[in-house]
Copies of this chain bind each other. A is one copy, B any other.
């Protein structure tokens, strides 16, 4: 067979996270690799009742084709419950389109804003699933450095000025993936202002803002967006059920129309059934209450992970201490390759994601990402202990 593929996919490689997830599916592996919610916290009893009710009461619509934008009831709930929680005043439900997870909104953003060779500005490091999605549009990446408070806005402005063909800024302001860092309100305001000043869209990827274990919520970048350049991507994957694949785009109508046209071509619409499940659940039950319950568990797991790392990791290994989200970020001394370390860790039946893949332009191999939401408490302690033993060979 001699098959020719397009240039855009010839160089694409499978995401390390997804390939790792396969390895780590073996039950004896203690995995800190994925970004999976704790499945034992899914509201199963309520969902059993809701699933039957949706088929019974609205089955013909739930099993039929629907509109590309998504069902009005769910868009209304997203506007009233979730966008207001992100500090957005009077959100317009007509400027929301449902997506199949926020991953789809990420991918569409590159399709909509970026020509081949154009520049995407992102944090350094950034979410590897976004980097891989963007790569299929053959952009250049300009990475903006972060400090303890996330993206340095002066460096962002510099990057915009130096790259006139920058077409999009991609940022994760809340408990960033992979570092767990959070952008303060004044910087968010500044990002929105830069977007307007330089007429460049900001893609605000916001899956983690409601997973808050300490301190106060910070309003979204979108909440400071007066000029309409910020595209807000939300999701129910971290706060409800990722298996339903429900995310959304919230953007000015002129921009949202492009997302709708692209979605028509890509998959017509997100599952009618899953949308109606979510709408029925959130009409009857309080999602905030559910989020409060999972936050209680994640907070405890996070603290246990901190404590275990303090106890078992050798001196000299550095790590972030996020106040929310799902991840923390480990920095090793120069010269240690976390991908090599991963092999040794897997031999000890413990997994994480090596940091290299989070840097679109390469380098920076001396980091890795740990997830603290998915494993139970005993596994967290045992896994970190094993990881400490592997690390001790390098220190």
Known: A3-B199, A59-B47, A262-B136. A243 touches B268 (CB 8 A): no
Known: A18-B68, A243-B63. A265 touches B129 (CB 8 A): yes
Tell whether, in the assembled complex, residue A36 and residue B64 are in contact, meaning their CB atoms are under 8 Å apart.
Answer: yes
Chain B residue numbers with a CB within 8 Å of A64 are 36-37, 39, 42, 241-243
Chain B residue numbers with a CB within 8 Å of A28 are none
Tell whether, in the assembled complex, residue A1 and residue B260 are in contact, meaning their CB atoms are under 8 Å apart.
Answer: no
A285 → B minimal CB distance (Å): 14
Answer yes or no: A113 CB below 8 A from chain B CBs: yes
Task: Say which residue of B4, B103, B135 sits within 8 Å of A167 (CB atoms).
Answer: B4
| Residue of A9, A42, A54, A254 with most partner-chain B CB within 10 A | A9
Tell whether, in the assembled complex, residue A12 and residue B261 are in contact, meaning their CB atoms are under 8 Å apart.
Answer: yes
Tell whether, in the assembled complex, residue B227 and residue A104 are in contact, meaning their CB atoms are under 8 Å apart.
Answer: no
Cα distance A101–B272 in the bound complex, in angstroms:
12
Cα distance A264–B357 in the bound complex, in angstroms:
15
User: Which residue of chain B has its CB nearest to the CB of A2?
Assistant: B199
Tell whether, in the assembled complex, residue A261 and residue B14 are in contact, meaning their CB atoms are under 8 Å apart.
Answer: yes
A204 → B minimal CB distance (Å): 15
Which residues of A334-368 are within 8 A (CB) of B? none
Cα distance A51–B101 in the bound complex, in angstroms:
21
Q: How many copies does the complex hold?
A: 2
Tell whether, in the assembled complex, residue B67 and residue A22 are in contact, meaning their CB atoms are under 8 Å apart.
Answer: yes
Digit string of A200-238 for contact with B (CB within 8 Å is 1, else 0)? 010000000000000000000000000111000000010
Known: A3-B255, A44-B55, A115-B7. A266 touches B268 (CB 8 A): no
Q: 18 A-B contacts, Cβ less than 8 Å apart?
A: A3-B199, A5-B258, A6-B111, A6-B113, A6-B118, A6-B137, A9-B111, A12-B265, A36-B65, A39-B61, A44-B55, A64-B242, A99-B267, A101-B267, A133-B265, A244-B273, A245-B268, A273-B274
Using a CB–CB distance below 8 Å, which chain A residues touch chain B? 1-9, 12-15, 18, 21-22, 34, 36-37, 39-40, 42, 44, 47-49, 51-52, 54-56, 59-68, 99-101, 103-104, 107, 111-115, 118, 129, 132-133, 135-137, 167, 199, 201, 227-229, 237, 241-245, 252, 254-255, 257-258, 260-262, 264-274, 277
